[in-house]
């Protein structure tokens, strides 16, 4: 069993930055895919970014490329997401997710992730 705890959400103005962190505990081994999803009111949950714990390969949604950056700490248990140049449309509940397998083509598919955090709110005002 793996537990995921997110932190770092908040409210910022457009153009601002936030840093989200996801601390994972429990039995975690390679290859493991860890990622972030978000869900705005009335919309489906969508994949934002993911990283293959085994080799650091990253995946980003087109809407956040160049603005959001993933990083993993040396212990490979805390996944952070740096959100820059934030836009109002980035406002959503952000969820950390993890799965023992490979990210690959399924990195943005929520049904392929076994473990989920409780979420942290990001609000961007114009």
pLDDT for residue 32: 92
| φ, ψ of residue 60 in degrees (nearest 5) | -135, 145
Furthest CA-CA distance within the chain: 42
Contact assessment for residue 88 and residue 112, using Cβ atoms and an 8 Å cutoff? no
pLDDT for residue 60: 98
Q: Which two tokens stand for residue 44?
A: 């489906």
Q: How many residues are recorded in the chain?
A: 126
Contact assessment for residue 4 and residue 97, using Cβ atoms and an 8 Å cutoff? yes
Residue 83: which pLDDT band, with cuts at 50, 70 and 90? very high
Contact assessment for residue 43 and residue 58, using Cβ atoms and an 8 Å cutoff? no
Q: What number is the average pLDDT over the span 79-108? A: 96
Q: What is the pLDDT of residues 15-52, one digit of tens each?
A: 999 999 999 999 888 789 999 999 999 999 999 999 99
Q: What number is the average pLDDT over the span 99-106? A: 93
């Amino acid at each position: 069993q793996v537990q995921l705890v997110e932190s770092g959400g908040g409210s910022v103005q457009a153009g601002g930055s936030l840093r989200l962190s996801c601390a994972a505990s429990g039995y975690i081994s390679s290859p493991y895919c860890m990622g972030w999803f978000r869900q705005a009111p009335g919309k489906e949950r969508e994949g934002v970014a993911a990283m293959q714990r085994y080799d650091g390969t990253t995946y980003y949604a087109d809407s956040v490329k160049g603005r959001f950056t993933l990083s993993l700490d040396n212990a490979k248990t805390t996944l952070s997401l740096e959100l820059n140049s934030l836009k109002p449309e980035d406002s959503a509940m952000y969820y950390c997710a993890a799965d023992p397998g490979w990210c690959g083509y399924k990195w943005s598919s929520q049904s392929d992730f076994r473990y989920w955090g409780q979420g942290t709110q990001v609000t961007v005002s114009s």
